[in-house]
Chain A
Amino acid sequence: MVKTTPFYPRLAALSETMLWKHWSGYAAAQNYQFSTLFEYFAIRSGVAVFDTSPLFKYRIQGPDAESFLAGVLARDIRSCPPGQAQYTIWCDSDGYMLEDGVVLRLSDDEFLLTAAEPNLLYFSNLIGRRRVEISDISKEYGILAVQGPHSRTVLAQLTKTAADLPYFHVTQTKVAKKSVILSRTGYTGDLGYELWIKADDALAVWDALMAAGTGYNIMPMGLWALKMARIEAGLLLLDVDFASAKHAWVDGQRETPLELGFDWMFRKLGGEERPFIGRTAIENEIKNKTSRWKTVGLMLDWQHYDQTYENLGLIPPKDTTPIEEAHSLYDAERNYLGYATSLMYSSLLKRHIAIGKVPPHLSTPGSEAYIELMIVHRPQYVRANVVRLPFYDPPHKKR
């Protein structure tokens, strides 16, 4: 039997569609309602809850935990004081991206880290003589992402600390008399929180959350709604927008953090001595400008898109389900330029958007690329323009 998360008994009852995907061996809903878009808009206009429990979760603890993570993670964890959270990545020694995740720093020497893939062995092997303990606490906790402009109002009814927890901060509090870890984080690009809940307390907290949210039309959302939001937020997804260098066969499959747009993590490298895995390669890549790609936002030209379909006698489809397979990009003369992942029609932005990998010299906003679409069994090339990521960044996200 496929594994289920601690929230499954409630989620199963709410699933109209019974569309479950397997995510790290767990049943994870693609959607709950027949209208995925309705769930999606709960993120942008109300409040939606996503069960993100299948993530791998690690506790990293000990007097040397900070210095350990400073050497293992590419982003400088020392800039994340206790009570704060950080989006982070880790690389191999050739400077290729392995994975990304979020670190919650609970105290000086206690960190929690989420990851999409198992990393216990990988991190443990790097401890050496440092006084650090890493434990896999994946099954101990369920995680709920409560996202949307009303997430604060709803959570503040359950714990006052939610009312003024700043963006990317974390705290320990109680919800429905159960201890939870509450962080102001998420994968939607909207105002949002994540709650780490002890597996045994999962249903009690779920019920309290649903009761608090009824007046705000709170609803569970599935993977599809989440993925729509994360593309608009310009947040990358492993195995869709990049591959882990670990089990790649050739460098063509690998990408560096600079190629993926994480150069902002390394702006202060010059002024700090911190040795970390991949540092030399990343410094060389910066110095020698050897990045092969740049990750950009792509917005398809709406007129050209519509005309391309209409000229073929079709009604231009506006499909909001993200397409995870890559599409090729060309220049106006049909020379290969790069590729695009995560293509979808954004119902919010009323445009087709995608995450593009283009040569660095063609990455400035406004640059043009043509995306290859198969229409009536033939390739067609639709004009797109490079835009800055994220596509959507509402002021209330950080407010």
Chain B
Amino acid sequence: MSEKYDAIVIGGGHNGLVNGAYLARAGLKTVVLEKRHLVGGAAITEELKPGFKFTTFSYALSLLRPDIIQELELVKHGLMVLPMPNNFTPAENGDYLFLGADSQQNYHEIARHSAKDAEAYKDYWHDIKQVVQAVKPLVDSIPPDITSSEPEELARLASVGAHLGRQNPKVLHLLTRLLTGSAADLLDDYFETDVIKAAFCSSGLIGTKVGPRSQGSGLVLLFHKLGYFDGSIGDWGFHKGGNGGFTQAVARAAQAFGCEIRLNAGVSEVITKNGEAIGVALQNGDELYGDTIISALDPRRTFLQLVEPRDLPTDLVETIEKFKFQGVSSKVNFALDGLPEYPTLPGRTDIFRGFMNIGPTVDYIERAFDDAKYGWYSKRPYIDCAIQSTIDPDMSPPGKHIMSCFVQYTPYKLKGGDWDTERENLGDTVQATLTEFFPNFSDLVLHREVVTPLDIERTVGLSEGNIFAGEFMGPQMYFFRPAPGWNQYRTPIKGYYQCGSGTHPGGCVMGAPGKLAATQIWGI
């Protein structure tokens, strides 16, 4: 059986869908092939218990590029990003940091801890936003290939240099500190209060095997500030119906542009002929032929599994073999009978309308990381919680709630153990930690879903459960994502491209890799 397409996209995660949508919009006969029974990859919503919608993996939205919303007409297809107005970080002594939508109130809330920190808060955001503005054009364009001496690439490199040269030196300096330094060092320069530093350093470790004091956590922090909520840099929202609601909207948009989506269509390999990609073989034995084959999977799968490594340059194979995945994140999602109570704020439910950070001090988070360094999961994990039903009532039956908990650190490789044995122990650890802060928590649990790095790998295919399809670390970004010379969505095999989170700019529900790859493929 054979069919001929202009473009075949392997993997119906959001990047595959975005890529397929852009290619179809450009007039290409395009198909997206998804292994599972639903699209979305790491951005899905599943009703695991009647009426309870679980955001199995990703749970919040910010980095999605605004131009994709417009160009793919996502609003028309159901995009609805709800605000998460508040942010709550319990401290260890019953105190807390509760930030909301009003900057003047936030001043007073921080000033409760330190008046200097309250003033610094505004400076901190102003500085971060300047850096974000400075790097935005680099995030949203195809990076230069530094291995090339082609005039076009040299010009591209020169324009990056010129762009950076135009920036205020203070901004460049801060950018460098972020790219190379630790989140904790940076925050020390602005703040003196522990709970504030703890709350703000958390974006420096999401998804990554670094602690707040590790070099490199600055980069992760910056990456998580590259998004927007309605033009407000660094703010996050929650998609109606969870991130699965988002990927369904992208799928509808793709289909409206004429892109075909096939479910239960896992690809076993890319078919090549004379060094050129000409089609794909499905796990069920079917074959599909196309002019351009695009892998939306991570670099390990793209280069080492979908094609024969022997058909690739040895340097590339080596780089990809050494590409760090080392996932450290898990999810524990709960169906709750009611809202937890924070003892010093009895009856308050507004504290749950947004992210809730369980990581009361920098030491706490760093110690959680220590456990992972030595091969085990944190005894007292860092947890990023969100009770999404307080924002979107359709996430749970009336009066009940759904809670998403993103947990670190949980290394993919356990020393002297395995995740199939430890899964429920991790669930217990998380539940016990939450009960430390919210004494009534355990009584509320109706259902629990534990998603370890191994489960992420098994279900979505993200190697070693790395949520970004490859670590965010200097040697794996920009010029080097996923490998020097292969950071422009091409591969050494003619007609074979890559568009997943393992390409520039990287992971998160962002869509940029999918879009930029389409630009490279079709000059859109």
Of A2-10, A39-47, A62-70, A73-81, the one with at least 4 CB within 8 A of chain B: A39-47
Q: Are B398 and A45 in contact (CB under 8 A)?
A: no
A316 interfacial contact with B, CB 8 Å:
yes
Cβ distance A148 to chain B, nearest Cβ, rounded Å: 9
- Asked if B133 is an interface residue, CB under 8 A from chain A, the answer is yes
**A240 contacts chain B at the CB level, 8 A cutoff:** no
Contact: A318 with B230, CB < 8 Å? yes
Provide the residues of chain B in CB contact with A351, threshold 8 Å: 70, 75
8 Å CB interface, B131-148 against A: 133
Chain A residue nearest to B399 in the complex (CB):
A215
B75: min CB distance to chain A, Å:
5
Nearest chain A CB to B165 CB, angstrom units = 16
Whether B232 sits at the interface, judged by CB under 8 Å, is yes
**CB 8 Å contact bits of A153-197 with B (1 = contact, 0 = none):** 000000000000000000000000000000000000000000000
A-B contact count (CB 8 A): 81
* A235 part of interface (Cβ distance < 8 Å): no
Is the CB of B425 closer than 8 A to any CB of chain A?
Answer: no
Size bin of chain A's contact surface: 20 to 34
Q: B300: CB under 8 A from chain A?
A: no
Docked-complex contact B100 and A345, CB < 8 angstroms: no
- Chain A residues with CB under 8 Å of B397's CB are 215
List residues 325-352 of chain A with CB under 8 A from any CB of chain B.
345, 347-351
Among the stretches B175-183, B387-395, B477-485, the one at the interface with A is B387-395
The chain B residue sitting closest to A214, CB to CB, is B399
The reply on A317 being an interface residue by CB < 8 A is yes
| B83 A38 Cβ-Cβ under 8 A | yes
User: Min CB distance, A309 to chain B, in Å?
Assistant: 9
Q: CB within 8 A of B353: which of A38, A214, A315, A318?
A: A38
Majority SS of interface residues in chain A? loop
Query: In the complex, which residues of chain B have a beta carbon less than 8 angstroms from the beta carbon of A345?
Result: 230-231
Q: Does B129 contact A (CB under 8 A)?
A: yes
Cβ of B80 under 8 Å from chain A: yes
Contact with B along A1-21 (1 / 0, CB 8 A): 000000000000000010000
Q: Is A33 an interface residue, CB under 8 A from the partner?
A: yes
Partner of B85, one of A35, A316, A317: A35
Interchain CB contact (< 8 A) of A217 among B66, B80, B83, B393 = B393
Q: Contact flags (1/0) for A112-140 with B, using CB distance below 8 Å?
A: 00000000000000000000000000000
Q: Is A262 on the interface with B (CB-CB < 8 A)?
A: no
**Nearest CB in chain B: distance from A274 CB, A:** 40
24 residue pairs of the A-B complex, CB under 8 angstroms, read A17-B102, A35-B85, A35-B101, A35-B102, A38-B101, A38-B353, A45-B82, A45-B394, A214-B398, A215-B400, A216-B398, A217-B393, A303-B70, A306-B66, A315-B129, A315-B133, A318-B230, A318-B232, A320-B230, A345-B230, A347-B230, A350-B69, A351-B70, A351-B75
Interface residues of B (CB under 8 A from A): 66-67, 69-70, 75, 79-83, 85-86, 100-102, 105, 129, 133, 230-233, 240, 350, 353, 390-394, 397-400
